[in-house]
Structure 1
Amino acid sequence: MEKAPQGDGGAQNPSPAPAKGLRGHPWLTLFAVAVGVMMVALDGTIVAIANPAIQHDLGATLDQLQWITNGYLLALAVALITAGKLGDRFGHRQTFLIGIAGFAAASGAIGLSDSIAFVIGFRVLQGLFGALLMPAALGLLRATFPAEKLNMAIGIWGMVIGASTAGGPILGGFLVEHVSWQSVFFINVPVGVIALVFGLVILKDHRAENAPRSFDVLGILLLSGAMGSLIWGIIQAGADWGWASGNTWGCLLSAMLLFGVFAYWETKVKEPLIPMAMFRSVPLSAGVVLMVLMAFAFMGGLFFVTFYLQGVQGLGPIDAGLHLLPLTAMMIVSSPLAGALITKFGPRIPLVGGMVCTAAAMFGMITLSEGTGTFAMSLWFALLGLGLAPVMVGATEVIVGNAPLELSGVAGGLQQAAMQVGGALGTAVLGAVMSSKVSSDFAENWTAAGVPGEPAPGLEQAAEFGMVPQELAQAPGMTPDMLDRIGGVIHDTFLDGMGLAFTVAGVVAAVAAGVAVFTKRGENAEAGAGGAHI
């Protein structure tokens, strides 16, 4: 298998000189960047548990709630690779600190917003600033740690991302129930201040010697347009347009055309946004695809789990978060184990095994119903955490380790961009699957339940969330029996849609297990053993 060319600056990377004092100390650097990365990773999932409260408070529709997540993930995905280049060119410390400050400010603005449009808009801004600090964090680690300890540092870095991603719903549940949904965003302000102070005191500037001197503006526009068209078309297909609509197909075909033009342009421009030569490495390409598919299944599925717990199971936000504790705990416990296995045996076997477990968990969650007990739910959530941990830890090593050293910022951005694109696609596609299934099954379930008359406006939308409207009990002529029947229709229809969504997620995870077969440790990742490269 051919590797991407290493270039002049990629052949050797001497270990950094030992740090004197606080600035540039490897383990303190790891701590400083972990605080910032934790904040961004949390925000990828912490909002999921707050979605029902946001929907009730601001009257959001399903597609608007999807854009609260997708606007953030899409902005991250589009900007990450460019942000990686900015770090390589102007210094990872500077871009990291700007990202921290902007992310905290955007978070505070979201908490002060009183309309869904402002929430979505500031979430996009939040994602753009988050993109600045994610690849910069990885660049700082690679510049600070000696070769023999870099694998361990990247493993801890990946563990922080995995644990933060999984821990979002628990922290979110506590904040939503005891404070407000706005506090989910306000909490980033003090955390951001702490990260900024540590960053100013501890982080040491680093710039890649062979970093690009110009930026591929057209490439940025083409990639942004392609991703935006793809996500927008999928969301609108499930929400308003339908899959047979000319608008839907126009968006999807535009996305494919823009992706094609982007790929062609990247082979012609002098300093491309994404050097296509990187993808000559089969393991690197497999790692990128694996991240997309893993995030598709995980983030897309998690979007519905929170509504299932609060709507169908009738749990409060904090109880819903606690029910996801097996997922979080298993990721935290198994991440170090996964790191050790990957270090000893290489990434292929742990990654394949992880995605098999993830697929099994997704197929298992198809069985979730109104009567499912805590033990059965915990079993599937724990299996999902066990499966995700190796991928969260190992994919970074696969992608960055198989990339040229002078493109470390780009590789770090590519790894995170793949995760954000997968999450946005998963939320959009599975949301569209859910909406289509609800639309096709609601009327049939209404008739089968023996409910007289036509359903009131808004009840079909309630079935997309699995939540019986509180005001339904006060409707004229509503009896307890009728309320139970209508509640049953809403819950059954939601479970039909969720079951189909988890089926799709399970198939995607199974495909990801096949893709993981093509991964392997790269030369840069093997530096700890051989000392030749980082």
Structure 2
Amino acid sequence: MGITPADGLSQAQTAAPSRRGARANPWLTLASVAFGLFMIGLDGSVVAIANPYLSADLNASLAQLQWVTNAYLLALAAMLILGGKLGDRFGRRTFFLIGIAGFTAASIAIGLAGSIEGVIVFRALQGAFGALMMPNTLGLIRAVFPPRKFGMAVGIWATTSSVSTALGPIVGGLLVEHASWEWVFFVNGPIGLAGLVFGACVLPRSKAGDGARRFDVRGVALLAAGMLVLVFGVVKGESWGWGSAATLGCLLLGALVLAAFGFSQKRHPDPLLPMRLFRSPVLTVGATIVALNFFVLLGVIFLLMLYLQNVRGYSAVMAGVYTLPLSLANVVSPLIGARLTERFGPRLTMPLGMALQAGAAADLLWLDTGSSFGSMWPGFVLLGLGVGMVMAAASEAVVGNAPIADAGVAGGLQATALHLGGALGTSVLASVLASRVSAVLPRELAGAESAVSQGFAPVTPAMSPAVRDAVIGGSHRAFVTGLHTAMAVTAAVCVTGAVLSIVYIRRAPLRDLAG
């Protein structure tokens, strides 16, 4: 999962003036924050590779696998703005180091948990500590780099995230195949320890000096609770039934809690998210497109890893190699998108990116139980190019259309939309696949829906070879049918996003917007 420069703008806007000295060397500071960025980027892509192994070892259901991803994303999304405010008030260096130490400890705890419930709990802690790191990275860089070199530093910063994401499938595949799935998380131990020691030696002290402001504790609680209940309703919708009272009640309760969050923001003197930002339809739609972008990326990757490993039978390493075109396209596409956005504005780049993703979903509709790599890679490349294009335009569409005084919190809004979209993508697309599997699964395999929805075939040693082959064939066909339905939904989401961006997105104004 890539990170965009807007994720850290709240700090960049309010950073203290650069201080010279051994602890404020710009390049050492950049190298130090790269440790945290590398862990977050790597963790975002290696977990999908580990899911089939984690499921088999801990006997996890499809819904529990979704929560391995969603607990992390929701905690990250709910805590991002708070993490930035803590850094502003008490010091960005302090909270970056707390974040990297906690992220490292949580990673090791995941590998030692021994149960799927423990993995989910510690994944949530991982996300919370990641939220202390992420919004403070650019503030630290901004404090030591002069303005003329800040753009170059941000480019290196963003490239670090993209490269770590691209390496994730390969590194994850090697670890789970030659060690165990636990090492996907244990690998953060030496990286985090090195980053903690190095950061303690070289990072400067930096804060915005807004200590007189009050924290919006109620806002944090309402935002976290609303997102949790909403995503929980989506995850459980397939097993409870989409029309059931429990599912509808969860979705309604989540919407009401988020509405209460919005009302509380209007009344708080120093809100987490000023509601005046949403007076701009360009900003509002831009944030929505960012959410749809990661809805598609993380949701599709979650399903593809199950398909490649459990249906096609590829090893973890080969699954990583097969998705490398996606990762590499996601590394280069932000550079292309940035140039196009600079010249033509986000009104071109955003719909183009969403259209490329719609093309990727349409291409993946042709996957079957025996598809070759030649039939996969065009869709993977289109997906990587489309995601990067949209993210390249996000800063101008969201942050560029906020009042200058609110540019930082607009960056936090963008980061929150990104991670919430990823959580919903994993939940919705997996639920769509599972619902379709339940509808088409042969009657003889009733009761095995959860296994088949992960690409597994419920075979037993007592089955004859003919029966075994029939069960495997029927199970895999059911999974692929569900995958096709999920890709059709993905294409519809992308087309909707493209239309919204064409209608509403404009180039950011050159003047300061009224608050």
Q: TM-score, normalised by structure 1?
A: 0.87
Secondary structure of 1:367's match?
Answer: coil
Aligned to 2:138: 138
Look up the match of 2:461.
474
Residue of structure 2 equivalent to 1:507:
492
The 1-side partners of 2:99 and 2:217 are apart by 20
Q: 1:331 to 1:321 in 2, by over 3 A?
A: same
Q: Tell me which residue corresponds to 2:335.
A: 336
Kindly indicate whether the alpha-carbon contact (under 8 Å) linking 1:460 and 1:490 is maintained by their aligned counterparts in 2. Answer: no
Match of 2:65 in 1: 65
Q: In the superposition, relative to structure 1, how do residues 509 and 13 fare at CA in structure 2: closer, same or farther (>3 Å)?
A: closer
* Structure 1 residue 408 displacement after superposition: 5.5
**Which residue of the partner structure matches residue 90 of structure 2?**
90
Match of 1:455 among 433, 437, 445: 445
Q: Structure 1 residues 105, 275: CA separation in 2 closer, same or farther (over 3 Å shift)?
A: same
1:309–1:315 CA contact under 8 A, matched in 2: yes
Amino acid aligned to 2:216:
D
1:465 to 444, 454, 468: 454
User: Aligned partners of 2:268 and 2:289: how far apart in 1?
Assistant: 27
**Change in CA separation of 1:15 and 1:48 when aligned onto 2, cut-off 3 Å:** closer
Give the direction of change, closer, same or farther, for the CA distance of 1:73–1:400 in structure 2 (3 Å limit): same
Secondary structure, in 3 states, of the residue corresponding to 1:465?
coil
1:128 corresponds in structure 2 to 128
Distance 1:133 1:105, change over 3 A: same
Deviations 1:118-155 (A, max 9, x none): 11111111111011111111322344444444444434
Is 2:428 the counterpart of 1:429? yes
Give 1:210 deviation, angstroms.
4.9
Distance 1:127 1:408 in 2: 24
Change (3 A) 1:496 1:211: farther
Alpha-carbon distance, 1:481 to partner: 1.8
Q: Which residue identity is paired with 1:507? A: A
Identify if the C-alpha distance between structure 1 residues 277 and 149 changes in structure 2 by more than 3 Å, giving closer, same or farther: farther
Q: 3-state DSSP class of the match of 2:387?
A: helix
Displacement of 1:262 in angstroms is: 1.3
CA shift digits 1:298-335 (9 cap, x unpaired): 10111100011011211011111110011111122333
Distance 1:99 1:57, change over 3 A: same
Could you tell me how far apart the structure 1 residues matched to 2:320 and 2:92 are?
Answer: 35
From the superposition, tell whether residues 409 and 107 of structure 1 become closer, same or farther in structure 2 (CA, over 3 Å).
farther
The amino acid of 1:189's aligned partner reads: G
Pair 1:495-2:485 in alignment = no
Q: How far is the alpha carbon of 1:520 from its aligned partner? A: 5.1
Structure 1 residues 160 and 299, CA gap change in structure 2 (3 angstroms)? same
User: Is residue 159–residue 392 contact of structure 1 (8 Å, CA) maintained in 2?
Assistant: no
- Tell me how far apart the structure 2 counterparts of residues 388 and 332 of structure 1 sit (CA, whole Å): 10
Deviation per CA, 1:127-186: give whole Å up to 9, x if none: 110111111113223444444444444344334334433442222111111111000000
Map of 1:220 onto structure 2: 220
Q: Does the 8 Å contact 2:290/2:417 carry over to 1?
A: yes
CA offsets 1:198-227 (integer angstroms, 9 cap, x no match): 322332222225576211111112111211
One-letter code aligned to 2:501? A
Q: Is the 8 A contact 1:291 1:415 kept in 2?
A: yes
Contact 2:334 2:389 in 1 (8 A): yes
In the TM superposition, what are the counterparts of 1:23-62 in structure 2 within 5 Å? 23-62=23-62
Tell me, yes or no, if the aligned pair for 2:15 and 2:139 is still in contact at 8 Å: no
Over the matched positions of the two proteins, sequence identity in percent amounts to 46
Distance in 2 of aligned mates of 1:436 and 1:251: 18
TM-score (norm 2): 0.90
**What residue number does 2:253 align with?**
254
- The letter of the residue matching 2:414 is Q
331-340 vs 19-28, greater mean Cα deviation: 19-28
**In the aligned structure 2, how far is the partner of 1:13 from the partner of 1:259?**
27
Change in Cα spacing, 1:331 to 1:107, as seen in structure 2 (3 Å) is same
How many residues of Structure 1 are paired with residues of Structure 2 in the alignment? 501
Alpha-carbon offset, residue 375 of structure 1: 1.4
Asked whether the 8 Å contact 1:135–1:409 carries over to 2, the reply is no
Deviation at 1:387, TM superposition (A): 1.2
Q: Can you list the C-alpha shifts for 1:338-369, whole angstroms capped at 9, x where unaligned? A: 33333444333223222211111012111111
1:266 equivalent in structure 2: 265
Which segments of 5 or more consecutive residues in structure 1 lack a partner in the other structure?
1-9, 447-453, 528-534
> Matched residue of 2:206: which SS?
coil
Could you tell me which residue of structure 2 aligns to residue 6 of structure 1?
none
Q: Given residue 171 of structure 2, which amino acid in structure 1 is its aligned partner?
A: L
CA distance in 2, matches of 1:152, 1:499: 42
Counterparts of 2:28 and 2:499 in 1: how far apart (Å)? 38
